[in-house]
């Protein structure tokens, strides 16, 4: 397969998936982020990499973000939000951290593919990216890509789309975002 054919397949899968994401679910996540003192992010593998990008971008918007596991990670409190990325909603580490955060009283949001996963017991907000995971039901957007690539791609783009919507909703001047950009580079 040529690169142009592969990228066309990837782009069409991403477009079909993001078209199926609920505006209402994303709006609930956006409100939760706006209402939180701090927003913590947890995931594993490539999902974590996508979430780190989302955390960084929201940080540029002035949101106080923390990636769970950072050496400087502060304590989570009931005024904070934990955003969990897990396609299946069954990944052991994010599931345990969501349970711990909920037990402390923090709000928990889950971005995943499975609305009836074990994660649902700990979350108040759910955003469904309807793609195949290791526990596919067959009712999701199918993919020719390996493993859960489509989920990870859509997670990153969902975060960037959410950031753009927040910029518009909050009336943030794009030029002002540079004040939050790393300056030790």
Which region holds residue 45: left if phi is over 0, alpha if psi is between -120 and 50, else beta?
Answer: left
Residue (of 38, 32, 45) closest to 155 by Cα position? 45
Rounded Cα gap, residues 9 and 167, in angstroms? 30
HSE at residue 85, side-chain half, CA atoms within 13 A, is: 28
Catalytic residues: 152
Contact at 8 Å (CB) between 87 and 133? yes
């Amino acid at each position: 397969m040529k690169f142009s054919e592969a990228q066309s397949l990837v782009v069409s899968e991403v477009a079909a998936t993001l078209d199926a994401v609920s505006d209402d679910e994303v709006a609930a996540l956006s409100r939760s982020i706006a209402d939180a003192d701090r927003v913590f992010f947890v995931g594993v593998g490539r999902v974590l990499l996508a979430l780190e990008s989302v955390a960084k971008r929201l940080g540029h918007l002035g949101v106080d973000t923390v990636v769970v596991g950072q050496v400087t990670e502060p304590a989570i409190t009931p005024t904070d939000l934990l955003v969990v990325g897990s396609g299946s909603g069954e990944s052991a580490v994010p599931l345990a951290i969501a349970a711990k955060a909920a037990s402390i009283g923090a709000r928990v949001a889950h971005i995943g593919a499975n609305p009836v996963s074990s994660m649902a017991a700990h979350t108040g907000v759910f955003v469904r990216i309807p793609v195949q995971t290791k526990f596919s039901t067959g009712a999701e957007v199918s993919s020719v890509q390996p493993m859960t690539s489509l989920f990870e791609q859509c997670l990153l783009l969902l975060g960037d789309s959410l950031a753009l919507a927040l910029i518009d909703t909050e009336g943030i001047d794009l030029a002002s975002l540079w004040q939050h950009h790393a300056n030790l580079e």
